[in-house]
Amino acid sequence: MVHVLVVGGGIAGLWTAVKAADAGHTVELVTKTALVDGNTRHAQGGIAAALFPDDSTERHFDDTIAAGAGLADPEAVHVLVDEGPARVRDLIRFGVEFDRGESGLERGLEAAHSRARILHAGGDATGAAIEAALVATVRRRAVRIEEETMLADLLVERGRVVGARLLGTSGTVTERPADVVVLATGGSGCLYWHTTNPSVATGDGAAAAWRAGAAVADLEFVQFHPTALDAPGTPLISEAVRGEGALLVDGDGERFMLDVDPRGELAPRDVVARAVWRRMAEQGGAPVFLDATGFGATFLAQRFPSLDAAIRDAGFDWSAEPVPITPAAHYAMGGVVTDLDGRTTLPGLFAVGETARSGVHGANRLASNSLLEAAVFADRAVRALGSPAPELDRRRTTSGAARSPVRSSSSAAGGDAYRDAARIVDRAELQRLMWEHVGLERVGEGLAAASARLATWRAPEVRDRRTAEDRNLLDLARLTVAAALARTESRGAHFRTDDAVTDDLATIVAAGEAA
């Protein structure tokens, strides 16, 4: 048995803590905010799994591979789809009440899925239901929980992670030893001016792992959700709304997605998001609209209760008029490189959930695979705790021409070279810079300009949560720009207007240049 420090309070962290405690390990769980405030509770769309007679894990596998634009790891995807149904049944045992109809579990259809296989809870409150059930479950376990505590850095001795430096609300940094650290800190949507993510999504785990010397990869692949409400806070409008049949229309009220892709509104997210972006550009920046008026007020309130309330609170009656939408940063496909059991390239360090680059998403995540990935690979990580990594799996974390790994070095993202930069980074400026030059469409000149601008900023001294987050965002911004510059092709969520062709040779070059 080992002493496990789990960092993060979403589905990945909670699942790890629960299962590790059940396995007899000593478990500490630390979360940056209150335990119930993780990113998971914001997930609306649901969780995908092949649970129904007209579906199969083979179909789910094919859909995931297709969405990943040639970079999803087949072995990892097989693990995801094959073990996914069992993990969904675990959630039910943990107390998640998925929506049911007369014939059993209800399911929905989302973009790029060939079958309706998305389970929901509370209509559009799946993440909140999962979070609540897992929080209640972990509180019944022998888990030491420490809230309002942020990861500052990892402790490394002789090439092995032996604990973490933790930042409390008073600004005091303490060292917490552990046999194993599991990073489950979520994504980095706050790199961008428009994001569907909450303010906690500042990439803390990925940045700390990189500083400690772990490999990270695929940071150029940032998924932009096509339908965030164009209102303060850019609240997400779930893909499930389009799955029910809502349409995208331009400023003239004309549907435009069928001119872009035969799947229309249910094309992969990267395709829909870029189509929305381009139509907005053609309209001088004016928003396009999501038209759900055909459903009626009663259906919208019953099927999407949380969304209905949020949209009405923003001043729109979406049962009577189309609502303005805009793309927004939503999910990081890249992260800390792991094997199939969550091990990173640093002994003693695991990563699960959005923090990790497990290989299942490739260049573009299939809708509703994120919650599934977190459950599947957190479960596998717990089973691997305390056991040595097989040699083959250790090699797997750093190999593969279809990757762009970036290891901790001053050449990759600045490092020591930028410590003497004149200005302390300003978060709002960084977010605007990333949105303008490293967003839905990129060009080499703009990426180079972003890299040069980032070089003029330095991280603040870590005094509190805000300054620690700003340091993480600056590190990840530099890494993301470096990866985007290295990948000269367009693939999945990474689109270069100066090289719009998907080119496997360019993928190989990107892997070599960024390493």
Both tokens assigned to 234? 């850019």
Q: CA-CA distance, 362 to 356, in Å (whole number)?
A: 12
> What b/e string do you get for 409-424 counting C-beta neighbours within 10 Å, with b at 16 or more?
eeebbbeeebeebeee
Q: Are 373 and 360 within 8 A, CB to CB?
A: yes
Compute how many other C-beta atoms are within 10 angstroms of the C-beta atom of residue 508.
Answer: 13
DSSP one-letter code for 442 = B
8 Å CB contact between 456 and 489: no
d(CA 279, CA 287): 8
Largest CA distance in the chain: 65
Q: Please give the Cα distance from 1 to 20 (Å, whole number).
A: 10
Query: What helix, strand, coil percent values describe the chain, rounded to 5?
Result: 40, 20, 40
DSSP 3-state assignment of 12? helix
Which are the contacts of 284, defined by CB distance < 8 A and separation ≥ 6? none
**What residue spans of 362-405 are helical by DSSP H?**
370-384, 391-396
Neighbours of 278 (CB within 10 A): 15
Distance from C-alpha of 316 to C-alpha of 320, rounded to nearest angstrom: 9
Question: Residue 213 in 3-state DSSP?
Answer: coil
CA angle centred on 512, ends 511 and 515, rounded to 5°: 80
Find where tokens 């022998």 sit. Answer: 142
> 387 to each of 23, 384, 402, how far by Cα in Å?
13, 6, 28
CA dihedral 185, 186, 192, 197 (to 10 degrees): -120
Sign of CA dihedral 382, 384, 385, 389: negative
For the question of residue 423 being annotated catalytic, the response is: no
Given the residues 117, 176, 242, 269, select the one marked as catalytic.
269
Distance CA 191, CA 415 (A): 18
> Phi and psi dihedrals of 503, rounded to 5?
-140, 110
Active-site residue list: 269
